[in-house]
Amino acid sequence: MRVELVSVGTELLLGDIVNTNTAYLSKELAALGLGVFRQTTVGDNRERLLKTLESAFNENDTVIITGGLGPTDDDITKECVAEYFSRDFYFHEYSWVKILERLTRSGRNVITDNNKKQAMIPEDAIVLENFCGTAPGIIIEENNKRIILMPGPPREMRDMFEKSVKPYLEKYSKKKFISKYVRFYGIGESLLETKIKDIMDRQTNPTLALYAKTGEVLLRITASSENKTECEELINCQLGEIESREGVGEYIYLVGDEDISSSQTELNSAVANLLIENNYTISIAESLTGGQISSMLVEKSGISDSLLEGIVCYSNKSKITTLGVKEETLEKFGAVSEEVACEMVKGVAKRLNSDFAVATTGIAGPNSDESGKPVGLVYIAIYAQGEVTVKECLFVGDRDLIRFRASVEALNEVRKNILKKL
Mean pLDDT across the chain: 93
Residue 16 has pLDDT above 80, yes or no: yes
pLDDT of residue 358: 98
Better pLDDT: 350 or 171: 350
Q: What is the pLDDT of residues 182-209, one digit of tens each?
A: 999 999 999 999 999 999 999 889 989 8
Residue 38 has pLDDT above 90, yes or no: yes
Strands annotated E in 299-373: 307-312, 356-362
pLDDT of residue 136: 95
CATH level 2 (architecture), domain 2-170? 3-Layer(aba) Sandwich (3.40)
pLDDT of residue 261: 87
Helices (H) and strands (E) in the chain, counts: 16, 17
Burial 226-253 (b: 16+ CB within 10 A, else e): eeeeebeebbeebbeebeeeeebeebbb
Classify 406 as helix, strand or coil.
Answer: helix
Q: What is the pLDDT of residues 78-123, one digit of tens each?
A: 999 999 999 999 999 999 999 898 888 877 767 788 889 999 999 9
Give the pLDDT mean for 343-356.
98
Q: What is the pLDDT of residues 50-70, one digit of tens each?
A: 999 999 999 999 999 999 998
- Annotated domain spans of the chain: 2-170, 176-260, 267-421
Give the pLDDT mean for 270-293.
98
Residue 34 has pLDDT above 90, yes or no: no
Pick the CATH number of 176-260 from 3.30.460.10, 3.30.70.2860, 2.60.120.680, 3.90.1010.10: 3.30.70.2860
Better pLDDT: 312 or 368: 312
Q: Do the strands 2-8 and 62-66 form a parallel or antiparallel pair, or are they unpaired?
A: parallel
pLDDT of residue 338: 98
pLDDT-derived band at 146, boundaries 50, 70, 90: very high
pLDDT of residue 268: 97
pLDDT of residue 104: 84
User: Is 267-421 a domain of CATH 3.90.950.20?
Assistant: yes
- Are 136 and 128 in contact, with CB atoms under 8 Å apart? yes
pLDDT of residue 1: 84
